[in-house]
Amino acid sequence: MSLVSIRDVRKSFGPNEVLKGVSLDIAKGDAVAIIGRSGSGKSTLLRCINGLETYQSGSIVADGIEVAGANTNLRELRRHVGMVFQQFNLFPHLTAAENVMLAPTVVNKVSKAEARATAAEVLAKVGLSEKMDAYPSELSGGQQQRVAIARSLAMRPKVLLCDEITSALDPELVNEVLRVVEQLAREGMTLILVTHEMRFARDVGTKLVFMHHGKVHEEGAPKEVFAAPRTPELQQFVGQVG
Amino acid sequence: MLQFSFWDILSNLLIATQWTIVLSLIAFFCGGIVGLVLLFMRTSRIAPLEWFTKIYIEFFQGTPLLMQLFLFFFGIALFGVEVSPWMAATLALTFWTSAFLTEIWRGCVEAIPKGQWEASSSLALSYIEQMRYVILPQASRIAVAPTVGFSVQVIKGTALASIIGFVELTKAGTMLNNATFRPFLVYSLVALIYFCLCFPLSWWAKKIEGRLNVAR
Amino acid sequence: MSYKLQFAELLPYWNVLLYGLVFTIVLTIVSTVVGIAVGTAGAAARTFGPGWLGRIVAVYVELIRNTPFIVQLFFIFFGLPALGLKLSETTAAFLAMVINLGAYSTEIIRAGIEAVPKGHIEAGLSLAMSKWEVLRHIVLNQAFRKIYPALSSQIIIVMLGSAVVSQISAEDLTYAANYIASRNFRNFEVYLLVALAYLLLAMLTRSLLRALGRVIFKAR
Ligand SMILES: Nc1ncnc2c1ncn2[C@@H]1O[C@H](COP(=O)(O)OP(=O)(O)OP(=O)(O)O)[C@@H](O)[C@H]1O
Ligand SMILES: [Mg+2]
């Protein structure tokens, strides 16, 4: 049984069809790396999975919850599907710990003390124990992104969606974030990552998805797919970025 | 005939100023509460609520406050309720204030980056929770300066309550002028008192705004 | 509600309303044009003029912005004759409106001028433009583009505020409403109708100013 199942999803922005029938199955413990050219619909697909965007046809079921437009129980869905953004989107008026504690206390009605213990645990996991009381403006980009990961982890999500989470970082900060994600993958967290880091996709991913013109153009085990791309589009893409 | 000394005039004006202050405070706080409710409605993305607030704001921002005072004064009377100038002025000023505050605050809410909405909804926060814990704490920081600035408009707005017969500073000025025939002195004093009420607020608003710009 | 609204009783007074409407429109247009001219001069004086002039302008701006329009109007109409300056209702209304909008637009335009980067002025001067040419072609041009929306809203606010001139019997739209109400006692109907007329006027002015802005600033 797959944890996230995407069936023939179509999505248009006005006349512009961005997803043209995407199907994908993601099993528990998978680390799916989605690659593809800019504009191929990677972000849109990710945002459909946690209901930030709606889609016109097809179906998405995540952790048993059907993501289907207006009558989806978005709150329930998002308790189980976390998301980390390219631009971090930390809440600037809250400290690192408060950022992490917010959703557990407000949504899950966990006590402050318990939430703080969780925050300490997840911040330790991303290597930021000593920054609990720092405000986002006092942290580097890499640290901010690790807080953002910790913030999602505090909800104990079944799936974590990551949309180019290292693209806004200076090159020397990329690795500290990737290491955290790699650690999560090793612990068996189900991950769906949109990424431009090809080496990371190959080494950490358990499954590679190449999107092209709003479709899953090629998919398979990362090492095999990279070693021998079947379609000319992926060959070209790998040639360009790799 | 009764003789009014300078001090008589001034003390009478100052007594009436109390009513200007009371009316301003009530209008500002009641207007703020109504404005906050309208703000939630206006940004709720629920079409009927948004439409209602849009029309409400259009009406109260697009018609003279004086007309609104007249409409409340004569409109409530149609329901067979005894209307005092006090009641009409309070209601009109409250609604008028709320419309402007809603628009000011909406601007502040919209200045918060979209990513903050997306991140908080990805954490399963409901709309009300997003507003309460993520958006409003940030928006309120930038809202202080324009809100204080608008309080000056409220104080000046209360002057129109004089026209429907509410005795506050302006009305007291008119009455004293009729009694003393010293319009230059009376209206200079009236203007001076308003200035003393409004200028510190204007100055404060400007100072907060400056500090916020430096903090960026 | 047992009361029946009767708008038909307003019909005989259509010419009174029309006169008031035209008065309000003319009052708004004239005070906008003259007020913005005053504001431009005031803003230029505050930013480029000698210190003493700047301070006088600052006092004028703060005095007007921190007192109610109705008090300014009463001061001009009732107070000034005591100094030997007797004005008709209409003149007093126009004067008060110009002085009021002049102060607000001074402040708005000044903010626009100060937002123009210093480098642009230096670039203009380096191109051998005179100070005056720099002001006209570089500073004011950019400043007005930037503050046009703020100025437009202020014009509408002042137009709605002009309802107060009825209190010195200047014969504007509100005066017409008061006049009719005192004849047929249909207070609510009259004021509702006139309020809607103002609303229409405000919406019209807004679209007109927006269209005008597109024409004036069509480059870019
Ligand atoms: N909110 C929106 N409104 C209209 N069009 C949109 C919107 N969001 C995305 N698009 C369009 O959808 C298409 C796919 O965008 P998407 O962001 O999913 O691409 P992507 O694969 O994530 O690209 P990138 O690598 O640049 O992030 C693009 O053509 C984009 O212009
Ligand atoms: Mg993207």
CA nearest neighbour of C42 among C51, C54, C30: C54
Per-residue model confidence (pLDDT) at position B214: 60
Tell me: pLDDT of B3 over 80.
Answer: no
Tell me: pLDDT of B108 over 50.
Answer: yes
Q: Say if residues A114 and A194 touch (Cβ distance below 8 Å).
A: no
Which of chain B's residues have a Cβ under 8 Å away from the Cβ of C2?
Answer: 80
Q: Which residue of A has its CA nearest to B117?
A: A89
Q: Say if residues C63 and C91 touch (Cβ distance below 8 Å).
A: no
Which of B122, B132, B133, B144 best probes binding to A when mutated, by most A CB atoms within 10 angstroms? B122
Q: Which stretches of chain A are assigned E, i.e. beta strand?
A: 4-13, 16-26, 31-36, 57-62, 65-67, 81-84, 159-163, 190-194, 207-212, 215-220
Element (H, E) at B124: none
- State the ipTM, two decimals: 0.92
All chains having 3 or more CB pairs closer than 8 angstroms to chain C = B
Q: Which atom of ligand 1 is nearest to the CA of A53?
A: 1
The pLDDT of C106-115, averaged and rounded, is 94
Task: Tell me which residue has its CA closest to atom 7 in ligand 1.
Answer: A13
Residue A195 CA to ligand 2 center (angstroms) comes to 9
Summary mean pLDDT of chain C:
90
Domain with residue B207: its CATH number is: 1.10.3720.10
Using the Cβ of B173 and the Cβ atoms of chain C, whether some distance falls under 8 Å is answered with yes
Q: Does B1 fall in a domain?
A: no
Tell me: pLDDT of C160 over 80.
Answer: yes
Under an 8 A CB cutoff, do C68 and B79 touch?
Answer: no
CA nearest neighbour of B96 among B70, B60, B48, B136: B60
Distance CA B177, CA B183 (A): 5
Under an 8 A CB cutoff, do C187 and B183 touch?
Answer: no
Under an 8 A CB cutoff, do B184 and C82 touch?
Answer: yes
Please, what is the end-to-end C-alpha distance for chain C in angstroms?
55
Give B44's DSSP letter: S
Q: Does B148 fall in a domain?
A: yes
- How many domains is chain B partitioned into structurally? 1
For B69, residues 6+ apart whose C-beta sits below 8 A from its C-beta are B88, B89, B92, B160, B161, B163, B164
Task: Tell me which residue has its CA closest to atom 17 in ligand 1.
Answer: A43
Distance from CA of C126 to the nearest CA of B (A): 30
Which of B121, B123, B130, B134 best probes binding to A when mutated, by most A CB atoms within 10 angstroms? B123
The contact set of B with A (CB < 8 A) is 113, 115-116, 118-126, 129, 133-134, 137-138, 141
Which of C191, C196, C201, C209 best probes binding to B when mutated, by most B CB atoms within 10 angstroms? C191
Identify the residue with better confidence: A240 or C54: C54
Distance CA B187, CA B9 (A): 11
Give the domain extent around B49.
Answer: 6-215
Using the Cβ of A151 and the Cβ atoms of chain B, whether some distance falls under 8 Å is answered with yes
Per-residue model confidence (pLDDT) at position B2: 61
Q: Which domains does chain C have, with CATH numbers?
A: 7-216 (1.10.3720.10)
Spell out the per-residue pLDDT of chain A, length 242, in tens.
789 999 999 999 999 999 999 999 999 999 999 999 999 999 999 999 998 899 999 999 999 898 886 677 888 899 999 999 999 999 999 999 999 999 999 999 999 999 999 999 999 999 999 999 999 999 999 999 999 999 999 999 999 999 999 999 999 999 999 999 999 999 999 999 999 999 999 999 999 999 999 999 999 999 999 999 999 999 999 887 75
Q: Say if residues C13 and C177 touch (Cβ distance below 8 Å).
A: no
Which of chain B's residues have a Cβ under 8 Å away from the Cβ of A85?
Answer: 115, 118-119, 122
Per-residue model confidence (pLDDT) at position B216: 42
Q: Does B60 fall in a domain?
A: yes
Going from the C-alpha of C151 to that of each of C58, C115, C146, the distances in angstroms are 19, 15, 10
Q: Which atom of ligand 1 is nearest to the CA of A36?
A: 21
Q: Does B82 fall in a domain?
A: yes
Topology (CATH level 3) of domain A4-241: Rossmann fold (3.40.50)
Q: Say if residues B2 and B179 touch (Cβ distance below 8 Å).
A: yes
Give helix B47-62 / helix B6-42 axis angle, nearest 10°. Answer: 160
What lines the ligand 1 site, CB under 6 Å?
A 13, 18, 36, 38-44
Q: Does B210 fall in a domain?
A: yes
pLDDT band at B215 (very low <50, low <70, confident <90, very high): low
Chains C and B touch (3+ CB pairs under 8 A): yes
The pLDDT of B124-144, averaged and rounded, is 94
Under an 8 A CB cutoff, do B67 and C195 touch?
Answer: yes
Pairing of strands A57-62, A207-212: unpaired
